[in-house]
Amino acid sequence: MKFQVHNLQNGSMKECDLNNLSRSLSVDSEIVLLDGEKVEAIGFINHSLLIYFCVEFADYTLQNYAKKKIPKAEECISLVRKWIENPNSVSKEELEVAAAAAYAAYAAGAAGAAAYSAGAAAYAAHAADYAAAYSAGAAANAAHAADYAAAKEFERQGRFILSYFSS
């Protein structure tokens, strides 16, 4: 499968396959399936949806690849999920503290990518009023959690994105 991710803010287009889909997303972009001569719009990525994917990838990595529990990363993921449900229910300060704690767990060597991705998701949610670039970076960080897991994780993330839009 081949895809194009069209960034509607700057007009750029990035072509990718399923294994690179999760790492190609950005805020205000559209995913398009390229199937021979057929071109089909799959879905639109806004800030909240990008954070949703980010936190789901971080949680999956934490649950399936961490060698031990990382409470700070779990708390961070929970807080970001609360933010996704209602952005006004979580303060920027709470997100910042949670992200810092997850990054500290990462720095201490606790399951690397999972803790780092949880922190990135919280910072990206926190950054909603500042710059969409933060959320794109967070999605990339969550996607790169697969580097620590296995190459098959990139394909799983791509399929997760497609199943989200097909449901």
* The total number of structural domains that make up the chain: 2
Same domain for 115 and 59: yes
Taking the model in full, what pTM does it have? 0.79
Please write the tens of the pLDDT for every residue from 92-132: 778 777 777 766 666 555 455 555 566 666 656 655 544 44
Domain range holding 37?
2-46
Please write the tens of the pLDDT for every residue from 124-133: 665 554 444 4
Same domain for 42 and 67: no
The pLDDT mean for the chain works out to 75
Question: What would you report as the CA-atom Rg of the chain, rounded to the nearest whole angstrom?
Answer: 15
Share of the chain above pLDDT 90, in %: 18
Separation CA 19–CA 156 (nearest Å): 8
Q: Give pLDDT, residue 56.
A: 84
| Residue at 70 is within a domain | yes
Q: Give pLDDT, residue 118.
A: 62
